[in-house]
Structure 1
Amino acid sequence: MSAETPVQSAGTFTRQRRRFRDWRGTRPFWAGLFTMLGGVPIAYFPYATLKLGTMSLTMATTAGAGSLIIGVLLITLGLTMWFQQATRVFAGVAAIILALVSLVVSNIGGFIIGFLLAMLGGALGISWAPGKAESAGGGPQPGGQGPTAEGATEPASDGVAGEPGQPFPPFGTGDSGPAGGVRPEAHHGGHRVG
């Protein structure tokens, strides 16, 4: 082995980690993960046989098939959130509905564990929104346009003074404007001020 081998493997690990972070950032990753994790106990517990010493507990119920279907659907919805981001709202609502149904069908929603995880995943899926790409310079936008983010002011359009968004001319100019040159804010109690 040469001295360069650890550095090369560290670079590969770093690249893989960054690639995964970029992939995770473009989709509702945590919503899908929690939804899939919620489906596992809902589908597993009705078919599990637990051993306590020499005694075995079987929790099979008549609704075991329903529990399996709900668990598989939750896992499928979690994968859908990862790979089809456009359907995230539908998948989130469906996950919440399936989690609520699992309370009655599947041993109190997989002993509340699966229920809570599926509810959290569904809520995260509904609330996730894709991020917007930022410009590299952070300055004016292409085409001479200024910032267009929330809170940015729009330039005033050419219009008649007194229209909404248009400034009034100062007193003493030849422009009569509204009400014969008197600005509306100059009226107090019906009396003319100024």
Structure 2
Amino acid sequence: MPSLKFTGFAAMLTLVVTDAFVVSNVPPTPPAAIERVVPATADLTTGEMWASSLNSQMLLSGASANVAQGFGITIDDIRYDGEVSRTEADEFVVIKNRSKETADISGWFIYPAGTGTQGNTFYFPAGSVLKPNQSVRIYTNEIHKETGGYSWGSGKALWSNNGGLAVMKDNNGKKIMEYKYKPVVPAKA
């Protein structure tokens, strides 16, 4: 019997969903890992989750996240396969404040782990704040003010199309989160 394990944000909830649509809440086990994406609505502050269906249209992304406890700032997504030829300037990383408080992320930084921090590190400038539920994008080499206006300013692609790891640290160098991504497996028809 095929089964699906979904571990929620910051290890607050763990749900096991099978093809028979059995959902059970089991004790959280850090680090949080997202093994599959299922259509659902979740309240990440209470741990309540409402699944709408489990069918063959499910997207299998293979992303996983290790999140430091107590932080609501997350790497929500990496658009690693840009459409701009050669430079993939339109690649971006989505950072989101999942907490109920405004967060000052001045001096925080993010980088592709495979390249180290030299030359490929993005630092949030002074005055960078995220309101509750606000998200921003950091582009490889484009500026979009409507999504925060952040850019690495890199003349080459930063995110491997074969998968990789992003690391986010606070202004003291403490690791806040790692986000591992793999190429998306097409949904079955």
TM-score range, shorter chain: under 0.3
Pick the structure with greater CA Rg: 1
What is the TM-score normalised by the length of structure 2?
0.23
Name whichever structure is richer in strand by fraction: 2
